[in-house]
Chains A and B, each alone.
Chain A
Amino acid sequence: MYHYTEFDADFLAQRNAQFRAQVERRIDGSLTEDEFKPLRLMNGLYLQLHAYMLRVAIPYGTLNSRQMDQLAMIAEKWDKGYGHFTTRQNIQYNWPELRDVPDMLDALAEVNMHAIQTSGNTIRNVTADHFAGAAADEVADPRPVAELIRQWSTDHPEFQFLPRKFKVAVTGAAADRAVIKAHDIGLRIVERDGAIGYEVIVGGGLGRTPMIGKVLYDFVAEEDLLPTLEAIVSVYNLLGRRDNKYKARIKITVHENGIDDIRARVDERYALIRPQFTGVDQQMLARIKADFAAPEFKVGDEAPYRSAYQNDAMFRSWADTNLSAHRAPGYAIVSISLKAHGKTPGDASARQMRLMAALARRYGHDELRISHEQNVILPHVHKSDLPSVFSALRAEGLGTANIGLISDIIACPGMDYCALATARSIPIAQEIATRFDELKLEHDVGPLKIKISGCINACGHHHVGHIGILGLDRAGVENYQITLGGDGTEDAAIGTRAGPGFSADEIIPAVERLVLAYLDLRSEPAETFLQTYRRLGMAPFKAALYPDAETKDRADAA
Chain B
Amino acid sequence: MPKPFTPKVMTANALLEGDVIYMTATGWTRHLEEAEVLTDEADADLRLIEAQSQPGSVVGAYLAEVTVQDGVPHPTHFREDFRATGPSNYHHGKQAAATEERF
Residues on A facing B (Cβ under 8 Å)? 26-27, 29, 32-33, 47-52, 80, 94-99, 344, 347, 415-417, 424, 426-427, 430, 473, 476-478
Contacts and interface: CB of A to CB of B under 8 A. Distances in A.
Contact of B82 (A29, A49, A99): A49
B89 A430 contact: yes
Contact of B86 (A50, A96, A424, A430): A50
A80 to B, nearest CB: 6
Contacts of B18: 47-48, 50-52, 95-98
Contacts of B74: none
Nearest to A345: B89
B16 A98 contact: yes
A408 to B, nearest CB: 17
Nearest to A343: B89
B86 A426 contact: no
Contacts of B93: 50-51, 95
A417 B90 contact: no
Given A48-B18, A80-B92, A416-B89, 18 more contacts: A29-B56, A47-B18, A47-B59, A47-B60, A49-B20, A50-B19, A50-B94, A51-B18, A51-B93, A344-B90, A416-B82, A416-B88, A424-B82, A426-B89, A473-B78, A476-B76, A476-B78, A477-B78
B79 interface: yes
Given A29-B55, A476-B78, A50 B87 contact: yes
Chain B's interface: helix, strand, loop or mixed, by majority? loop
B83 interface: yes
B15 interface: yes
Contacts of A424: 82, 88
A26 B87 CA distance: 27
A97 B16 contact: yes
- B contact residues, range: 20 to 34
A505 to B, nearest CB: 13
B52 to A, nearest CB: 10
B15 A98 contact: yes
A95 B17 CA distance: 8
A297 to B, nearest CB: 40
8 contacts: A26-B15, A49-B82, A50-B87, A50-B94, A95-B18, A344-B89, A347-B89, A415-B78
Interface in B11-69: 13, 15-20, 55-56, 59-60
Contacts of A80: 90, 92
B102 interface: no
With a 10 A CB-CB cut-off, give which of A49, A80, A424, A476 has the most chain B CB atoms: A49
Nearest to A49: B83
B15 A27 contact: yes
A50 B91 CA distance: 13
Nearest to A53: B18
Contacts of A96: 18
A92 to B, nearest CB: 13
Nearest to B83: A49
Given A50-B87, A51-B93, A416-B87, A27 B16 contact: yes
A427 B16 contact: no
Nearest to B93: A50
B3 interface: no
A415 B17 contact: no
With a 10 A CB-CB cut-off, give which of B79, B89, B93 has the most chain A CB atoms: B89
A507 to B, nearest CB: 14
A170 to B, nearest CB: 32
Given A80-B90, A95-B92, A426-B88, A478 B17 contact: no
B89 A427 contact: yes
A10 B92 CA distance: 37
Contacts of A52: 18
